[in-house]
Structure 1
Amino acid sequence: MNNRTIRAILEKIEQAGRILVVSHSSPDGDAIASTLALANALREMGRDVVAFNADPVPQPLQFLPGAETMVHDLAGIASFDLGFLLDAGELRRAEAPLDEICRTLINIDHHPYSESFGEINYVDEKASATGALIYRLLKAGGYTISPEVALCIYTAILSDTGSFRYSNADPEAFRIAAEMVEQGAINPWDVAGGLYESQDEKRLRLLALSLATLYVSPCGSFASLTLTDEMMHRTGAGHEHTDGFVNYPRSIRGVEVAILFRQIGPEVYKVGFRSKGRVDVGALARQLGGGGHHNAAGAEVQGSLEDVRGLVFSRLHIGSAAD
Structure 2
Amino acid sequence: MLQKISELINSSRSILIASHSSPDGDAISSTLALYNALKKIGKEVVAYNRDEVPGDLRFLPGSDALTRELPPGCSFDLGLVLDAGELRRAGTELRDRCARLVNIDHHPHSENFGEINYVDVKASATGILIYRLLNELGYAIDYPVALCIYTAILSDTGSFRYSNADPESFEVAGKLVAMGVDPWQVASGLYESQEEVRLKLLGLALQTLEVSPCGRFAALTVTGEMLAATGATAEHTDRFINYPRSIEGVEVAVFFRQVDAGQFKVGFRSKGHVDVGSLAREFGGGGHHNAAGALLKGTAAAIRRQVFERLGELLSNP
Q: TM-score range by the shorter chain?
A: over 0.9
Q: Tell me which residue corresponds to 2:220.
A: 225
Partner letter of residue 264 of structure 1?
V
Hey, what's the Cα distance between the residues in 1 that align with 2:135 and 2:91?
A: 30
State the Cα RMSD in Å: 0.9
Hey, what's the Cα distance between the residues in 1 that align with 2:316 and 2:220?
A: 22
Matched, 1:63 2:64: no
Match of 2:248 among 248, 253, 265: 253
Partner letter of residue 9 of structure 1?
I
Partner letter of residue 14 of structure 2?
R
How far residue 95 of structure 1 moved from its aligned partner, in angstroms, is 3.2
Q: Helix, strand or coil: the match of 2:17?
A: strand
1:114-263 equivalences under 5 Å are: 114-184=110-180, 186-263=181-258
Deviates more, 1:313-322 or 1:173-182: 313-322
How far residue 282 of structure 1 moved from its aligned partner, in angstroms, is 0.5
Q: Tell me which residue corresponds to 2:46.
A: 50
Runs of 4+ in 1 over 4 A off after TM superposition: none
Give the gaps of 5 or more residues in structure 2: none
Is the CA contact (8 Å cut-off) linking 1:87 and 1:111 kept in structure 2?
yes
Match of 2:98 among 96, 102, 121: 102
Hey, what's the Cα distance between the residues in 1 that align with 2:40 and 2:73?
A: 22
Q: Helix, strand or coil: the match of 2:250?
A: coil
Partner letter of residue 165 of structure 1?
R
Hey, what's the Cα distance between the residues in 1 that align with 2:58 and 2:299?
A: 35
Is the CA contact (8 Å cut-off) linking 1:54 and 1:96 kept in structure 2?
no
Hey, what's the Cα distance between the residues in 2 that align with 1:146 and 1:96?
A: 33
Q: Helix, strand or coil: the match of 2:52?
A: coil
Is the CA contact (8 Å cut-off) linking 1:24 and 1:86 kept in structure 2?
yes
1:71-90 equivalences under 5 Å are: 71-76=67-72, 78-90=74-86
Hey, what's the Cα distance between the residues in 2 that align with 1:24 and 1:74?
A: 15
Partner letter of residue 293 of structure 1?
H
Q: Helix, strand or coil: the match of 1:279?
A: coil
Hey, what's the Cα distance between the residues in 2 that align with 1:123 and 1:242?
A: 28
Structure 1, residues 124-159: CA drift from partner, whole Å, max 9, x if none? 111000000000111122111011000000000001
Give the gaps of 5 or more residues in structure 1: none
TM-score of the pair, normalised by structure 2: 0.99
Matched, 1:292 2:276: no
The sequence identity of aligned pairs, in percent, is 62
